[in-house]
Structure 1
Amino acid sequence: MRTVIVGTRRSDLAITQTQWVMDRMEEALPTSWELRQERMVTKGDQILNVTLSKVGGKGLFVKEIEQALLDGRLDMAVHSMKDMPGEMPPGLTMGAVTVREDPRDCLISRTGSTLETLPENALVGTSSLRRQAQILAYRPDLRVEPVRGNLNTRLKKMMEGQFDAIVLAYAGIKRLGWEEKVTQVLPEDVMLPAVGQGALAVQCRADDHDMLEVLQRVNDSETERVIRAERTFLHAFEGGCHLPIAGYGTLEGEEVHLTGLVADPTGHPLLKGEARGTDEEEVGRRLTVDLMEQGARELLEKVKDGIGE
């Protein structure tokens, strides 16, 4: 009998997502295997008083879990793909990419106002520089301030009057069955999603060949292709975790169509580009070159020099 220890964060959403993956794995498991969930607290769950970009970026939600995998305390882990840094520690691999839930962002407001109808100077909460930049590019008259914590905490802060509206990933809201709380699902031309948003990453040790074989049966090859293009694009900007970056790929026949965005946190400038092709990594690289030529290199240098954070 092999007991497979499955790592997850302790939030309601993380547990729901992990259970969803485990349910799908059950059909592919050898009869001598059983799955057991191990719930962990990451640094990203503990540091709630500052924005992620100021304390090390999205990797804060995965580092402790990745270390537990490397140490053999976990056999696999489920992450929101958008929380995964562009690089993975040696010894670990992505064993599966799940079929993608709706990748868009959504707005929840106290009064039922949409992004278009929020009053001037309304206060919008978001934990993401990517969302901040796109909100300010679209509505420069709004104020944007950080809101951290799990989904329940953020909703509570808004209902208590700390914010007029908050922006969240629609996929998480859907997985929790909270669609009725959503005021507006934001179209991609207004709010381009984060790289990997809506998909789940299942991580394991690279040398655990039995686990990799099982995970291939829950892998969605179409989602995997577009995520590879998005993450190739993200990887080029990994030095800019203080920089708003968005990337969203779709499959059109055999071709991957990738839209990417790099911006100043103020929303000005906001650079956008597209690339398409059958080689997903090449598509990601071409889009990077396009945006670098548009001025993304200067934005990266500005952030590295400590300006504009």
Structure 2
Amino acid sequence: METVVIGVRGSHLAQAMVREYLASLVPCPVIRFKTRTITTDGDRDRKSPLSEVGGDGAFSSRLEEELLAGRIDVAVHSLKDLPTSMPPALALATTPPRADMRDALCGSTLAALRPGARVGTGSPRRIAQLKALRPDLDIVPIRGNVPPRLRRLETGLDAVVLAAAGLRRLGLEDQIADLLPLEDFPPSPGQGALGVQIRAADTELREMLSSVGDPVADAAVRAERALLAELHGGCSVPVGAYAVPAEGRGLRLSAQVTSLDGSHKVVANAFGRDPEALGAQLAATLVMSGAEHILREIRATV
């Protein structure tokens, strides 16, 4: 029996994601799947800003190293944590069915937050989007796994922002007080989706894993990641984007680039059938509409 080793981070959420993925694989009598836990830079340091502990690869580069070295055969990532640029020897299998892409507010609804309420999040995108809608809020930087961030509600925070998909995967859906609207809070490209990464040369394994993929979800995240790549964005850049099927028009891709203080934002939408071309097209529209000025200012500060 052939054994396929799947690498995954040690957090409860990462372990829940790989269990979800393993449950979707069609049982195969000649293949046994085995998981191996790998500690990433982002896991070792849960306090410093991500830009200081590995940047865009904080949660993925160690897994990629193990994959390239042949110590694992598959790496399962939260797709939003996987940089758009990857080593040429690696590839992504077709994206599995996507979970809820929205952000969730825990502790209070957005409308019920008092003026000056203290809201916790470590994401520059979420900070910028909150400030754009509610400049009165006091944003408190927080990092860490989901349960410790939720416990901050007991020690002075009025609310915290987390990914709805992560809460649901951990059985913490009852902690969601408000699902933030996509129009005002477009998520990180790929949010809610799993990234199944393999060696590009393992074509047979890629074909097998792609058989449980979702072509609709795959096209959507490819468009979102293409846009992010064109904007040279990452974890420190507040770019939100999401794609959904548009009947008769392929995909509708919506995106927003917001200044860190929330004072300026550029929003645009586009339709198309080729995900990568659509992402590049919308990125160009955002740049022409003023996004490049916002991004240039942000990069000068990070």
So what's the TM-score if we normalise by structure 1? 0.93
1:272 is the counterpart of 2:272: no
1:283 is the counterpart of 2:281: no
Please state how far the C-alpha of 1:250 moved relative to its aligned partner.
Answer: 0.3
Query: Residue deviations 1:131-183, cap 9 Å, x none?
Result: 1000000000001121111001111222232x211000001111122111111
| Cα distance in 2 between the residues matched to 1:13 and 1:86 | 22
Residue 96 of structure 1 aligns to a residue in which SS?
A: coil
Counterpart contact for 2:4–2:31, Cα < 8 Å: yes
Aligned to 1:299: 294
Q: Which of 227, 231, 245 is the equivalent residue of 1:237?
A: 231
Please state how far the C-alpha of 1:50 moved relative to its aligned partner.
Answer: 2.1
Please state how far the C-alpha of 1:25 moved relative to its aligned partner.
Answer: 1.5
Give the number of aligned pairs. Answer: 301
Residue 218 of structure 2 aligns to a residue in which SS?
A: helix
1:43 is the counterpart of 2:41: yes
Q: Which of 32, 50, 55 is the equivalent residue of 2:30?
A: 32
Counterpart contact for 1:56–1:241, Cα < 8 Å: no
1:202 is the counterpart of 2:232: no
Counterpart contact for 1:25–1:214, Cα < 8 Å: no
Aligned to 2:7: 7
Equivalent residue letter for 1:156: R
1:175 is the counterpart of 2:166: no
Counterpart contact for 2:91–2:197, Cα < 8 Å: yes
Query: Residue deviations 1:222-269, cap 9 Å, x none?
Result: 111111110110001225653201110001125110001111111121
Aligned to 1:248: 242
Aligned to 2:218: 224
Query: Residue deviations 1:110-149, cap 9 Å, x none?
Result: xxx3112211111111121111000000000001121111
Residue 274 of structure 1 aligns to a residue in which SS?
A: strand
| Cα distance in 2 between the residues matched to 1:246 and 1:181 | 23
Please state how far the C-alpha of 1:300 moved relative to its aligned partner.
Answer: 2.5
1:190 is the counterpart of 2:188: no
Counterpart contact for 1:54–1:242, Cα < 8 Å: no
CA RMSD of aligned residues (A): 1.4
| Cα distance in 1 between the residues matched to 2:155 and 2:26 | 42
| Cα distance in 2 between the residues matched to 1:224 and 1:91 | 20
Aligned to 1:132: 127
Residue 257 of structure 1 aligns to a residue in which SS?
A: strand
Equivalent residue letter for 1:135: L
Residue 33 of structure 2 aligns to a residue in which SS?
A: strand
| Cα distance in 2 between the residues matched to 1:53 and 1:136 | 21
Query: Residue deviations 1:175-200, cap 9 Å, x none?
Result: 12211111111111221111011111
Q: Which of 142, 149, 173 is the equivalent residue of 2:144?
A: 149
1:186/1:95 CA distance change after superposition, 3 Å: same
Equivalent residue letter for 2:5: I
Residue 75 of structure 2 aligns to a residue in which SS?
A: strand
So what's the TM-score if we normalise by structure 2? 0.95
Please state how far the C-alpha of 1:54 moved relative to its aligned partner.
Answer: 4.4
Identity %: 39
Mean Cα deviation higher: 145-154 or 50-59:
50-59
| Cα distance in 1 between the residues matched to 2:121 and 2:2 | 42
1:82/1:239 CA distance change after superposition, 3 Å: closer
Aligned to 1:16: 16
Aligned to 1:80: 78
Query: Structure 2: 5+ residue runs without aligned partners?
Result: none
